[in-house]
Amino acid sequence: MTERPLMIHDWIKAILHIDADGFFASVEQAVNPLLKGKPVIVGAERGMATAVSYEAKAKGIKRGMLIHEIKKLCPDAVFINSDYEKYSLFSVRMFEILRRFSPQVEEYSIDEAFVDLTGLRRVYHCSYDEIGMRIKETIKKELGITVSVGISLTKVLAKVASKHKKPDGLTVIPGRQIHLYLQDLPIEKIWGIGHNTAAYCEKLGIKTALQFATKSESFIKKHFSKPFYEIWHELNGRSIYPVNPEPKKEYRSISKAKTFTPTKEKEEVYAHLVENLENACFKARRYGLCTKKIIIFIKTQDFRDRACEIRLNSETAYPEDIFPFMKRAFETIYEKGETYRQTGVVLVELTSMKMRQGSLFENQVKLDKIEKLYNTLDELKIRFGRDILVHGAVLNKKEKVKRQQRMKIPFINLKI
């Protein structure tokens, strides 16, 4: 006889988990219908697949694969540069749709969310299955993308359900059926249980989620720490993790790219990259955001990309803090003799300036000066346009002269 988790009641709570299918690639297909049905690879600017469409997955392509490997495997693959602002916009719209159905929405990531549906059957005069289907259909109709939905008594079980049928799936796990979905599910497939914990479980004779869920409370407390004790409760249908509707501390990514007259001049290529950084940081400051992770890329005349990721010790939205690191990163990706046509900067994992965690080694006096300086510059840019003041590194000697003649204003060399 099959063992069962302790919880057998169907709907003490109802938690929905929504997971967008191949989100970045699906957004690109929604925006450009000509890409539908084609193997789409997102991440061309980084030289690797950061997201792939289900058509690409069907051909064996996975996230993280290098572009040249993908071309050998799938010659007809379509490669696209990442557009994080576009994906963020779709994400915001998806979360807005979810909030039409319930005020309790947790933005778990850019393409995932939890929704508390408890008690809403009476409001909508239908089952939780039907509510889930309405949400799916609304997203498909308004955004042109598909999502997989799971509904169960807890967040962990809802995650199990949403992964059960992908893409475009809807799976509902009521209390009495929990054991049916856990009995063949490998323990490492459970949200919150990683490779090392799965290996430890195997030493204890636990290979499936059901074997873990049906262990006694005393056994779990003896062999596992608190987080896994909580997962054990969740697998048994007892909700431990509430849906948190508080706004996330992470916000959208900001990307700025510039295509220019092809050139071999190193100084000019770097100048365009600096201008991208200035514009990206200006937008971040306007929204009260900062970052400690930046991606820069340069594109050759024959559309080959080279990219580099920069990680800072602390968050910032001031180019002055980033320039030294970006200069070194640029040196690693620039190839002498190549002709370049585009540069780009992406600020990722943005967080609120108010939540910024400073470093012990920061010079607070210098930080205050930088902040005061950029506050003044931002006011001028907002009032007169962002080209009213630019960093000296943006322009080479010829461009400086042209800009002075055109704008009839002096260039300011600012030192901090």
Secondary structure (H, E, C), the chain: CCCCCCCCCCCCCCEEEEEECCHHHHHHHHHCHHHCCCCEEECHHHCECCEECHHHHCCCCCCCCEHHHHHHHCCCCEEECCCHHHHHHHHHHHHHHHHHHCCCEEEEECCEEEEECCCHHHHHCCCHHHHHHHHHHHHHHHHCCCEEEEEECCHHHHHHHHHHCCCCCEEECCHHHHHHHHCCCEHHHCCCCCHHHHHHHHHCCCCEHHHHHCCCHHHHHHHCCHHHHHHHHHHCCCCCCCCCCCCCCECCCEEEEEEEEEECCHHHHHHHHHHHHHHHHHHHHHCCEEEEEEEEEEEECCCCEEEEEEEEEEEECCHHHHHHHHHHHHHHHCCCCCCEEEEEEEEECCEEHHHCCCCCCCCHHHHHHHHHHHHHHHHHHHHHCCCCCCCHHHCCHHHHHHHHHHHCCCCCCCCC
- Asked if residue 21 belongs to a known ligand binding site, the reply is no
- Give domain status of residue 389, yes or no: yes
- Asked if residue 387 belongs to a known ligand binding site, the reply is no
Q: Residue 277: pLDDT above 90?
A: yes
Of 274, 257, 259, 270, the residue nearest 320 (C-alpha): 274
Is the pLDDT higher at 6 or at 192?
192
Q: What is the pTM of this model?
A: 0.63
Regarding whether 338 and 215 lie in a shared domain, the answer is: no
Q: 308, 296 in Cβ contact below 8 A?
A: yes
Regarding whether 358 and 221 lie in a shared domain, the answer is: no
Of 30, 38, 61, 39, the residue nearest 48 (C-alpha): 61
Dihedral sign (CA 152, 157, 159, 161) = negative
Regarding whether 396 and 312 lie in a shared domain, the answer is: yes
Is the pLDDT higher at 109 or at 2?
109
Regarding whether 226 and 337 lie in a shared domain, the answer is: no
Q: What whole-number percentage of the chain has pLDDT above 70?
A: 81
Q: Residue 416: pLDDT above 50?
A: no
- Give domain status of residue 229, yes or no: yes
Regarding whether 400 and 266 lie in a shared domain, the answer is: yes
- Lowest-confidence range among 83-97, 102-116, 135-149? 83-97
- Give domain status of residue 87, yes or no: no
Catalytic residue among 112, 230, 268, 315: 112
- Give domain status of residue 97, yes or no: no
Q: Using the 3D structure, point to which of 235, 262, 295 is the last residue of a domain.
A: 235
- What are the tens digits of pLDDT across the range 32-45? 999 999 999 999 98
Regarding whether 268 and 195 lie in a shared domain, the answer is: no
Regarding whether 392 and 265 lie in a shared domain, the answer is: yes
Angle (CA) 190 193 199, round 5°: 115
Annotation says 335 is catalytic: no
- Give domain status of residue 379, yes or no: yes
- Give domain status of residue 283, yes or no: yes
- Give domain status of residue 100, yes or no: no
What would the two tokens of residue 219 be? 């056994």
Q: Residue 358: pLDDT above 70?
A: no
Q: Residue 83: pLDDT above 50?
A: yes
What would the two tokens of residue 207 be? 């290979």
- What span, in angstroms and rounded, lies between the C-alpha atoms of 324 and 327? 5
Q: Do you know the residue count of the chain?
A: 416
Regarding whether 383 and 355 lie in a shared domain, the answer is: yes
Q: Using the 3D structure, point to which of 175, 208, 235 is the last residue of a domain.
A: 235
pLDDT of amino acid 151: 98
CATH of the domain at 200: 1.10.150
Report CA-CA distances (Å) from 289 to 62, 348, 356, 359, 361. Answer: 32, 11, 9, 17, 22
Structurally, how many domains does the chain consist of? 2
Categorize the per-residue pLDDT at 250 as very low, low, confident or very high, splitting at 50, 70 and 90. low
Regarding whether 268 and 231 lie in a shared domain, the answer is: no
Regarding whether 203 and 324 lie in a shared domain, the answer is: no
Regarding whether 274 and 219 lie in a shared domain, the answer is: no
CATH of the domain at 265: 3.30.1490.100
pLDDT of amino acid 22: 93
Give the residue-averaged pLDDT of 350-364: 59
- Give domain status of residue 217, yes or no: yes
Peptide bond between residue 167 and the one before it cis (omega within 30 degrees of 0): yes
Is the pLDDT higher at 350 or at 315?
315
- Lowest-confidence range among 54-68, 133-147, 390-404? 390-404
Q: What is the domain range of residue 217?
A: 186-235
pLDDT of amino acid 401: 46
Regarding whether 282 and 217 lie in a shared domain, the answer is: no
Q: Residue 104: pLDDT above 90?
A: yes
